[in-house]
Amino acid sequence: MTPKIGVLALQGAFIEHERVLESLGARCVELRKRADLNPIDSFDGFVLPGGESTVQRKLLRELDMLEPLRDAIAQGAPVLATCAGLILLARKLERGEEVALGTLPVAVERNAYGRQLGSFQRRIKVGDCEDFNATFIRAPQIVEVSLDVRTLAVVDGKIVAVEYRNQIALAFHPELGGDSRIHQFFLARVAA
Ligand code: GLN
């Protein structure tokens, strides 16, 4: 059966995720307004793309999409979140910044690499994927995790990818490096 993936398309790098997911046989539906979420149980999973998390959070709230998404994720809908998406999921943000969905029990620091290291690529190990070409763009870091969160990747001593129940969250952009293994991993979770 073709999985139906809701891709948050308010802002940021959503088209790149759609291309990868569609190349793997998924059907993507762009989520731009609340009605796009109906019926919410018709979705097999969700993608929260990178971009600017403060803008995404404001739009989600203004468009009344925060609650239905939060409920779906809290009830177990698989989600793949990258960069700004990770920030939206985090239960706690450093410097007391406002939390959006709050379903992932981690603390996140935004723009953790500062200005000089705004963007960079690294070949890293992510879970069982060796040598993954990870693109970091003004990336956050995960600075605290609760006990039941599984760390998938560490770079320079900092956690940059985690899995918690139905939620996979990455500080980097897996959709930009021409390597679809993380999306395959997500779709395998969706199918399970
Ligand atoms: N710096 C962005 C933020 O704080 C995230 C960057 C990204 O998604 N590549 O929201």
Ligand 1 near 48 CB (within 6 A): no
Domain ranges, residue 59:
4-191
Give the tens place of pLDDT for each residue, 50-95.
999 999 999 999 999 999 999 999 999 999 999 999 999 999 999 9
Query: Which pLDDT band, with edges at 50, 70 and 90, does 173 fall under?
Result: very high
Query: Would the pLDDT of 117 be above 70?
Result: no
- What pLDDT is attached to residue 115? 67
Residue nearest to atom 1 of ligand 1 (CA): 138
Ligand 1 near 50 CB (within 6 A): yes
CA 80-84-98 angle, 5° bins:
115
Length of the chain measured in residues: 192
Question: Does the annotation mark 175 as catalytic?
Answer: yes
Ligand 1 near 138 CB (within 6 A): yes
Number of domains comprising the chain: 1
Give the tens place of pLDDT for each residue, 131-152.
999 999 999 999 999 999 999 9
Instruction: Pick the catalytic residue from 83, 109, 129, 183.
Output: 83
Measured CA to CA, the distance from residue 169 to residue 166 in angstroms comes to 10
- Is residue 90 within 8 A of residue 106, CB to CB? The reply is yes
Centroid of ligand 1 to alpha carbon of 64 (angstroms): 22
| CATH code (residue 26) | 3.40.50.880
Question: Does the annotation mark 94 as catalytic?
Answer: no
Atom of ligand 1 nearest to the CA of 111: 1
Query: Would the pLDDT of 108 be above 70?
Result: yes
Query: Would the pLDDT of 98 be above 90?
Result: yes
Question: Does the annotation mark 173 as catalytic?
Answer: yes
- What pLDDT is attached to residue 118? 79
* Helix, strand or coil, per DSSP, at residue 40: helix
Give the tens place of pLDDT for each residue, 2-45.
999 999 999 999 999 999 999 999 999 999 999 999 999 999 99
Q: What is the pTM of this model?
A: 0.97
